[in-house]
Structure 1
Amino acid sequence: MKRALISVTNKAGIVEFAKELVALDFEIISTGGTMAQLVEHGIACKSIDEVTNFPEMLDGRVKTLHPLIHGGLLYRRDLASHVETVKEHGIEAIDLVCVNLYEFEKALKAGKPMEDMIENIDIGGPSMIRSAAKNFKDVLIVTDPSDYNDVIEVLKDSKDTYEFRLNLAYKAFSATGSYDAIISRYFAGVVGDSYPETLNLTLKKTDSLRYGENSHQNASNYVDPFVQHTLLDYDQLHGKEISFNNVNDLYGAVALVREFDGQVVTAAIKHSTPCGVAIDKTGYDSYMKAYNADPQSIFGGIVAVNYEIDEATAIEMNKTFLEIVAAPSFSEAGLEVLKKKKNLRILKLKDLSVREAKYDIKYLEGKVLVQDINDQMIQEMNVVTNKEPNEAQLSDMEFGMRVVKFVKSNAICIVKDGVTLAIGGGQTSRIWALENAIHNNPDKDFTNSVLASDAFFPFNDCAKVAHEAGVSAIIQPGGSVRDQDSIDYCNEHDLPMVFTGYRHFRH
């Protein structure tokens, strides 16, 4: 008779799994609550105490940490010296281990106090998993309830292969690795170490994507389980599956919309940079202004908003090809209109206020850059010119900085009355970004507009070109050794200029 050790926190499907093992002539060894549930359903079990001749103790902290358990898991059946050793010490083989762990992640998400968090750190479970997984050639290690049926079928059909066992071991080590990483992150937070010598990140796959940035690249979606609520929590109500580029663009759109708490805003994104952004009193007017800001670039883009999309707005949205429409809510009629576009991805956003994630991470072929998420906007509104901006200019200055923060550097944004007139980004020279913004919008009237820059002006050329185009006020971080050149030019031409103190490079 073979022996199976079962000790699980997640008891879904465990009774049925154990019954199948008994039918396959396995003796069941079990512990605590798992054993109680199995016995309740008429499954004969041997307790850990009976195997070890040692009682569970310390409130269950010590029960499976015993040579009669780990010896039965770790000895090599093909090594004569191991076989002789276990015989000498009365150790019997354990042929299958079914274990899943205390729910530390669940306790974390529930905000449990530290005493409870500590008690949710499993010791015996990971030890048994690692022992069984190390000796996977001789011991089946089952950590995922979704594998129960496959394990039973393999045992019934005598298809218990090396490859099958190897895959179970791989899943087992992934489970313990992820478990320990989350615990490490928790303690890093407790001691206040934001950038530890070893940053343990664990990522859990949510779905496969059609492909990456290009069709020859594979891609998948992962989530950081340590982050309980993400800005990209949404329900997909309609349309094709989400692609890699969709997710990347969607983040920029939704993060931009989040910056406008308390204002009605529409953000259109193309290739991860804004192409039209507008605030207004109604969602319809906001969308129409954002669309008209750049009706060419919005084609094939993503639109994110912070208001309910009604029927009138949905009708206008359907007049152009959009990849995604994302909103916190949709009227019944508005949703039906949007669904007329078969492939349009319609996303219902869950919470636009989320700012829980800490890290912005770039993986560069083995080198990993980790920084804080840029969650700041303006340090101060420091007027550095003789002329003070008026109320309307101040409003547009703040609007422009919120938008330019999400434009690829070098970034320039020209705005007027809460609407983007021209956006220039991704250039190796700031003056080129400004010149492109103006050149690409030959029909726009920049009179009395405001220019926002994501970083300082190294020369006064941007101030000069902006002024000649009709710009009447400038906002920028400041900080150049030649700031005075730009200040002098603005003073000579009666332009107000404000320094914010925060740079917003987006590479």
Structure 2
Amino acid sequence: MNLRYGMNPHQRTATATPIDPGTQPLRVVHGAPSYINILDAAGAWQLVREAATVLGRPVAASFKHVSPAGAATAGPLDAVMARTYQVDPATTGALTGAYVRARDADPKSSYGDFVAVSEPVDAELADLLRRVVSDGVVAPGYEPGVVASLAAKKGGRFLVVTADAAFEPPPVETRDVYGLRLTQPRDDAPLTRELLADPRLPAAAVDDLLLGLVVVRYTQSNSVAYVRDGMTLGIGAGQQSRVDCTRLAGAKVDTWWLRRHPAVQASDAGTKVQDRVAAQLQRTEDVPDRAAWLRILDRVAFVSDGALPFADNVEHAARHGVRYIAEPGDSIRSAAVRQECSRRGITHVHTEIRLFRH
């Protein structure tokens, strides 16, 4: 397919061509994608498809610049989500709920996102998508009338992409970089509950850690994810220092939790979703008893795509309610990391699988 341009608008005549001419992994049914749109659609679709498969529930993701801003399974919507997105928790469908939870993880970063869902888009989700600022959606299908409804968004520029749910990528990946052709086996190592086989982990924590593993697999490294109740609360991506990644993602967790403070929710401003989000974010700066409120958050899971090299990652993670950590292990200081987890009452699991993405 012809693309509007490459990574930047001055890179014209970009194209996307199936490796196997007989396959169509992604099919644009409305709009004109750019190079980054295709990267976002491909990465986001792989995330939701894999997470839905391993967890057995609908999954949604909000992608920006080839990394997820948020990802979540279907699950309960709290009062903050209900007010922010003007939805009724009692009647909202599973797929719409999954996307609300995914976007609410970091609504500031999700502004202008690429949406991915693991099931066909229905009219309810389409209605929500028309009310938020986003650039496109990828899904395995669309219910009757939905494509026409979404096609009117953004003055007709909203992208609607269908993913072939049965497509399996080739076993070998190739990338051209500066006149060099890099080839490697595709990273298809299974992410299963067996990686988290520790009797100290509650079932809910295993699910959260498993979701976190899938999320960091499709996040630019270095990456970490904080997860609770089937939704990410903070994702850190692309930092050269892992502890910086941990701290940045932790700050997003704090913001998510501060938005739940009664003082922040005392009044809602604006009729648009992003206006309400902006008002909430502004009020988080003046929350009374801030430190005491942040200490209430608990039962958070933390996943790292690479080994934790120092115990300082554990120190910072613990400040954001983390009680469970999964990481590859095999660092020269893994013993110190494990000791710090034990000291802080954090259940620590070595998965022995690294999930770098570059």
Q: Does 1:481 align with 2:332?
A: yes
Distance 1:333 1:382 in 2: 42
1:302-317, aligned counterparts within 5 Å?
Answer: 302-317=114-129
RMSD: 2.0
Match of 2:34 among 243, 248, 256: 243
Distance 1:221 1:411 in 2: 29
* AA partner of residue 355 (structure 2): H
Q: TM-score, normalization: structure 1?
A: 0.55
Rate the CA distance shift 1:354–1:427 in 2: closer, same or farther, 3 A. same
* AA partner of residue 345 (structure 1): L
Q: Does 1:210 align with 2:4?
A: yes
Match of 2:162 among 338, 343, 348: 348
Deviations 1:136-174 (A, max 9, x none): xxxxxxxxxxxxxxxxxxxxxxxxxxxxxxxxxxxxxxx
Any gaps of 5 or more consecutive residues in structure 1?
A: 1-206
Q: Which residue of 1 aligns with 2:319?
A: 468
Any gaps of 5 or more consecutive residues in structure 2?
A: 76-93, 258-296
Distance 1:288 1:463 in 2: 29
1:435-454, aligned counterparts within 5 Å?
Answer: 435-445=247-257, 446-454=297-305
Please say if residues 415 and 421 of structure 1, whose CA atoms lie closer than 8 Å, have aligned partners that are also in contact: yes
Please say if residues 106 and 252 of structure 2, whose CA atoms lie closer than 8 Å, have aligned partners that are also in contact: no
Distance 1:434 1:346 in 2: 34
Q: TM-score, normalization: structure 2?
A: 0.77
Distance 2:196 2:123 in 1: 43
Distance 1:362 1:356 in 2: 14
Number of aligned residues: 295
Deviation at 1:322, TM superposition (A): 1.6
Q: Does 1:223 align with 2:22?
A: no
Q: Which residue of 1 aligns with 2:346?
A: 495
Please say if residues 61 and 103 of structure 2, whose CA atoms lie closer than 8 Å, have aligned partners that are also in contact: no
Deviations 1:348-402 (A, max 9, x none): 22x2242231222221221111111111143752568xx8111111111111101
Deviation at 1:216, TM superposition (A): 1.7
Deviations 1:32-64 (A, max 9, x none): xxxxxxxxxxxxxxxxxxxxxxxxxxxxxxxxx
Deviations 1:267-317 (A, max 9, x none): 111000001111016101111111211222122111111112222211111
Deviation at 1:469, TM superposition (A): 2.0
Match of 2:182 among 369, 372, 397: 369
Distance 1:399 1:440 in 2: 18
Between 1 and 2, higher relative CO (CA 8 Å, sep ≥ 6) is seen in: 2
Match of 1:334 among 146, 152, 157: 146
Distance 1:400 1:227 in 2: 34
Please say if residues 279 and 286 of structure 1, whose CA atoms lie closer than 8 Å, have aligned partners that are also in contact: yes
* Identical positions, percent: 30
Rate the CA distance shift 1:356–1:271 in 2: closer, same or farther, 3 A. closer
Please say if residues 72 and 99 of structure 2, whose CA atoms lie closer than 8 Å, have aligned partners that are also in contact: yes
Deviation at 1:226, TM superposition (A): 4.0
1:20-419, aligned counterparts within 5 Å?
Answer: 207-226=1-20, 228-229=22-23, 232-234=25-27, 236-239=28-31, 241-259=32-50, 260-261=52-53, 262-280=56-74, 282-341=94-153, 342-349=156-163, 351-378=164-191, 380-381=194-195, 388-419=200-231
Deviation at 1:418, TM superposition (A): 0.8
Aligned to 1:458, what secondary structure does the other structure show?
Answer: coil
Distance 1:359 1:373 in 2: 5
Distance 1:336 1:420 in 2: 31
* AA partner of residue 381 (structure 1): L
Rate the CA distance shift 1:211–1:451 in 2: closer, same or farther, 3 A. same
Distance 2:19 2:43 in 1: 21
Q: Which residue of 2 aligns with 1:162?
A: none
Distance 2:16 2:253 in 1: 39
Distance 2:18 2:162 in 1: 21
Aligned to 1:221, what secondary structure does the other structure show?
Answer: coil
Rate the CA distance shift 1:438–1:360 in 2: closer, same or farther, 3 A. same
Deviations 1:68-89 (A, max 9, x none): xxxxxxxxxxxxxxxxxxxxxx
Rate the CA distance shift 1:225–1:424 in 2: closer, same or farther, 3 A. closer
Larger Cα Rg: Structure 1 or Structure 2?
A: 1
Please say if residues 116 and 137 of structure 2, whose CA atoms lie closer than 8 Å, have aligned partners that are also in contact: yes
